[in-house]
Amino acid sequence: MSWVILIISGVLEAVWATALGKSEGFTKFWSSVVFGIALVASMGGLAWAMRDIPTGTAYAVWVGIGAALTVAYAMITGAESFSIVRLLLILGLVGCVVGLKLVGHE
């Protein structure tokens, strides 16, 4: 269950990071609200998952998921340019996150 919570928290990290950018320095009300809610939920889920998953692994997975989804969303929406190299780098990041799950608590 901790891994499911961690993955959801990583997705919420991408939500709050994107909302933070869209808030334009907290001048856009709804983007700021989404940022705050997603931030609290993401951090709460990370903290909960870290009860069972080592801190370094949990944090790396959380950041990796959030970073990969944030960049992917930006490329899909046209906010950032798309390239095969960027796609391959994101896939490499995802591969590393999956690898951390596969090696377990050694």
Query: Nearest-CA neighbor of 43 among 13, 67, 14, 85?
Result: 13
Residue-wise pLDDT tens digits, 11-67: 999 999 999 999 999 999 999 999 999 999 999 999 999 999 999 999 999 999 999
pTM: 0.89
User: In sequence order, what E strands does 1-106 have?
Assistant: none
DSSP class of residue 96?
H
Structural domain total, the chain: 1
Cα distance from N-terminal residue to C-terminal residue, the chain: 19
| Domain span at 54 | 2-103
